[in-house]
Amino acid sequence: MTKKSPPNKTAKTECLEQFKVDAGEQLTTNQGVVVDNTDNSLKVGNRGPSLREDFHFQEKLSHFDRERIPERVVHARGAGAHGYFQVYEPLTEYSKAEFLQNPSIQTPVFARFSTVAGSRGSGDSVRDVRGFAVKFYTQEGNYDLVGNNIPVFFIQDAIKFPDIVHSIKPEPDNEIPQASTAHPSFWDFISLVPESTHMIMWLLSDRTLPRSFSRMQGFGVHTYRLVNAEGKSRFVKFHWKPLLGVHSLVFDEAQKLAGKDPDFQRRDLWESIEKGNYPEFELGIQIIEEEDEHKFDFDILDSTKLIPEELVPVRAIGKMVLNRNPDNFFAETEQVAFQPSNVVPGIDFSDDPLLQGRLFSYHDTQLHRLGSPNFAHLPINRPICPFHNNQQDGRMQMEVKTSRVNYSPNALGGGQPAPSEIEGYVHYPERVEGHKIRERSQSFGEHFSQATLFWNSLSAVEKKHLVEAAYFELGKVEDQAVREKMVDRLNHVDQGLAKQVAMGIGVAAPAQPITQNHGQSSPALSQNAFAVKTAKGRKVAILAAEGVEAEQVTAIKQALAEAGAEGLIVSTFLGTIKSATGETLKVDQTFLTSASVMFDGVYVAGGTQSIATLKENGDAIHFINEAFRHCKAIAATGEGVELLKKSSITGVTLSERSLQDDQGVISAKTPSSLSAVADSFVEAIAQHRFWNRTIQQKVPA
């Protein structure tokens, strides 16, 4: 079979273009009949009965009544983007997959990021695991790498998947709560399933509150196989690492964002791409030789375990760039069908029982959601390479088959399409044998050492946030026995952790540890290991009113733009404001439509009249207090320093010129310091947070 030319970054775009409908000047029915009026149904007189023969009304309403399809059971709320993947160097040694061979080829991709528990209408910023799924449109077929932003999972065997999801979802009697694990049924399940302990440590951590999709890691979760042209197999774990670093919201921000902007993360993804700030991720692999499968003190087929990078380093093999937003959310982001079973030659499966269950479940789900086995014909799911088979008929059949045969083997069709022994996918010939039993391997039996490893690896701030998350989650559980069981479970991880959690949820602290902390840690498990210091993609609120000093606003905006960040003027009303010297400045947001939680930093420009107005504005004061409490960079120049003094922030230097304050608050009253303030402010924003603000909890926000 002759293959098409090598894929490039426009190949999928060209494929989708075939299915686009041009916007014409005249409104027509789906049959192409021009419509003369779409505001009034056909009636007998202007007050008489409507007529059955109104085919336009019938078509319009019947289509509307059928526009919804079943949402995903999990990962219902998501956002996606097109882009490309480019391998750094040929991986011939490990895999025969074509898209992993040529560094000059850009393989088209579509990535979808999602929350797990909530419905399509829930908020982006809830505490939840995030899905991280990528469809590679390769010349050998579509390959789907379907993972999460956490490297492990709740359960070891897919037969428990309905149970864990049922426990996470709203409770069946009252459909409460939405998009939250902070309820009794979830923690009742977790308290009875020891294998979930490692996962809930990640769930309670900052990892489930990502600042944006472009600042979170992704993991394939399972152990897969790579197979080279000689048939040699190796085990592999997949990792996505964002080039902007890994950063999170604080929980108070996440809760407020759910009200201020429930679409915060999907909006950030869309706007970043529109502005040319393309999200970039490196794909990394951990390779395990087959002969090393059993050398670890855990089973690499256990999805509740990870392979510490200290034991097997992650090797970066390529980069994904997301550079184009979807043209239509439903047609692409909602209808895209990811399946772990979508693999290409050179990539194969392991015997991970959770993975094996997903290989069935995802395909079964797509049949239900999209309503037909022909869902692969949808533009977003179509491969860019030729595809030929004898499958015909069924709903959504979009191919006009011209062959008289729909079976194999055949002679009437010339024996075509025929299997290829040369290019065909061949499953790795793993030797397996054993009795049919319902039983777990003993190597899956240890559940706490990696949970302890994760706890030991966190920074002091990350540990504090995890404990506070446990206060909130378990504080929503009315059943005392469930809370006690969870403290007992955490006592298997670390006694100090169990004591802290017990204190916050009204449970007696354990007197003795059940398991001694082994003292081991893995620095790569802390977000600090990926805290890239860059201002790129950050948003800064510039507080201003009539009479602001335009020179100061311009200088800060320019410094931010040069660093790849953006400064937006926030004031009392939309429209424009006049500066002290008469310039007209556009207001981007108001105190009512925005909040400090939507920004990465705050700058207060000088101007006597402007500051006098803002001093009397409680929202402006709250804006500063809140940003300080969330440990963000704050700067002020000229009279703007007086607004900081009017706020409740304390314990920081607000002098004539304070440019290196370790609390992340930068101030300068003299105009000659403006350039230095701008440079220091940009540097402070790149730090992301100033966790050493030990007194921020005393600030009312």
Amino acid making up residue 520: Q
Whether 138 is in a domain gets the answer yes
Q: Is 396 left (phi over 0), alpha (psi -120 to 50) or beta?
A: left
Residue 6's pLDDT is: 40
Residue 421's pLDDT is: 81
How would DSSP label each residue in 209-269?
SBS-GGGS-EE--S-EEEE-TT--EEEEEEEEEETT---B--HHHHHHHHHH-TTHHHHHH
Mark whether 287 and 356 lie in a shared domain: yes
| Angle between helices 674-686 and 550-562 in degrees, nearest 10 | 40
**56, 75, 447, 492: which is the annotated catalytic residue?**
75
Partners of residue 324 on adjacent β-strands = 82
Domain that holds residue 326: 78-377
Active site annotation includes 148: yes
Residue 695's pLDDT is: 67
Listed range (2-16, 237-251, 307-321, 628-642) with the worst mean pLDDT: 2-16
Residue 7's pLDDT is: 44
Residue 562's pLDDT is: 96
Mark whether 121 and 205 lie in a shared domain: yes
Burial (0-12, 13-18, 19+ Cβ within 10 Å), 627:
buried
User: Which whole number is the average pLDDT over 309-324?
Assistant: 98
Domain boundary among the residues 529, 545, 574 is at: 529
* Residue 178's CATH number: 2.40.180.10
Residue 101 scores a pLDDT above 90: yes
- In this structure, what are the phi and psi dihedrals at residue 668, rounded to the nearest 5 degrees? -160, 125
Percent over 70 (pLDDT), the chain: 94
For 38-81, how does the pLDDT look when each residue is reduced to its tens digit (9 = 90+)?
A: 999 999 999 999 999 999 999 999 999 999 999 999 999 999 99
Listed range (82-91, 444-453, 678-687) with the worst mean pLDDT: 678-687
Whether 687 is in a domain gets the answer yes
Mark whether 570 and 488 lie in a shared domain: no
Residue 2 scores a pLDDT above 60: no
Integer CA distances (angstroms), 378 to 332, 401, 551, 572, in order: 9, 16, 53, 47
What is the Cβ-side half-sphere exposure of residue 312, based on CA atoms within 13 angstroms? 18
Residue 4's pLDDT is: 39
Whole-number Å distance between alpha carbons of 459 and 455? 9
Helix, coil or strand: residue 23: coil
Listed range (106-120, 181-195, 277-291, 641-655) with the worst mean pLDDT: 641-655
Contact assessment for residue 666 and residue 644, using Cβ atoms and an 8 Å cutoff: no
Active site annotation includes 75: yes
* Token representation of residue 634: 């704050």
Residue 10's pLDDT is: 57
What 8-state DSSP symbol labels residue 387?
-
Whether 304 is in a domain gets the answer yes
Residue 399's pLDDT is: 85
Contact assessment for residue 604 and residue 644, using Cβ atoms and an 8 Å cutoff: yes
Residue 609's pLDDT is: 98
Whether 34 is in a domain gets the answer no
Query: How many C-beta neighbours within 10 Å does residue 675 have?
Result: 12
Alpha helices in 116-179 (DSSP H): 161-168
Query: How many C-beta neighbours within 10 Å does residue 73 have?
Result: 15
Amino acid making up residue 423: E
Instruction: Name every residue whose Cβ is closer than 8 Å to that of residue 342 and which is 6 or more positions away in sequence.
Output: 135, 141, 142, 143, 144
Residue 652's pLDDT is: 63
Residue 427's pLDDT is: 93
Residue 322 scores a pLDDT above 60: yes
Percent over 90 (pLDDT), the chain: 85
Whole-number Å distance between alpha carbons of 276 and 635? 27
What is the Cβ-side half-sphere exposure of residue 242, based on CA atoms within 13 angstroms? 28
User: Which whole number is the average pLDDT over 244-271?
Assistant: 97
Helix, coil or strand: residue 336: coil
Whether 405 is in a domain gets the answer no
User: Which whole number is the average pLDDT over 511-524?
Assistant: 95
CA-based end-to-end distance of the chain: 66
Mark whether 550 and 648 lie in a shared domain: yes
Amino acid making up residue 569: I
State the pLDDT confidence band at 701, using cuts at 50, 70 and 90: confident
Mark whether 205 and 261 lie in a shared domain: yes
Contact assessment for residue 634 and residue 664, using Cβ atoms and an 8 Å cutoff: yes
Residue 193's pLDDT is: 98
Residue 3's pLDDT is: 39
Please choose, from the candidates 629, 630, 647, the residue with its C-alpha nearest in 3D space to the C-alpha of residue 543: 647
Mark whether 607 and 510 lie in a shared domain: no
Largest CA-CA distance found in the chain, in angstroms, rounded: 90
State the pLDDT confidence band at 195, using cuts at 50, 70 and 90: very high
Listed range (271-280, 591-600, 621-630, 654-663) with the worst mean pLDDT: 654-663
Please choose, from the candidates 22, 19, 18, 61, the residue with its C-alpha nearest in 3D space to the C-alpha of residue 38: 61
Whole-number Å distance between alpha carbons of 275 and 565? 11
Rg (CA), the chain: 28
* Token representation of residue 677: 């303030």
More confident residue, 197 or 515: 197
User: Which whole number is the average pLDDT over 240-249?
Assistant: 97
Mark whether 524 and 541 lie in a shared domain: no
Residue 344's pLDDT is: 97
- Total domains, the chain: 3
Mark whether 283 and 331 lie in a shared domain: yes
Domain boundary among the residues 351, 377, 403 is at: 377
* Residue 523's CATH number: 1.20.1370.20
User: Which whole number is the average pLDDT over 469-493?
Assistant: 98
Listed range (159-163, 234-238, 384-388, 543-547) with the worst mean pLDDT: 384-388
Mark whether 180 and 267 lie in a shared domain: yes
Helix, coil or strand: residue 612: helix
Domain boundary among the residues 506, 529, 552 is at: 529
More confident residue, 135 or 1: 135
Whether 421 is in a domain gets the answer no
Mark whether 648 and 684 lie in a shared domain: yes
Q: Report pTM.
A: 0.93
**142, 148, 277, 325: which is the annotated catalytic residue?**
148
Whether 38 is in a domain gets the answer no
Listed range (131-140, 634-643, 651-660, 688-697) with the worst mean pLDDT: 651-660
Whole-number Å distance between alpha carbons of 362 and 340? 7
Mark whether 498 and 589 lie in a shared domain: no
Whole-number Å distance between alpha carbons of 1 and 150? 41
* Token representation of residue 14: 């060209």
Whole-number Å distance between alpha carbons of 260 and 25? 38
Mark whether 104 and 227 lie in a shared domain: yes
User: Which whole number is the average pLDDT over 82-101?
Assistant: 98
Whether 483 is in a domain gets the answer yes
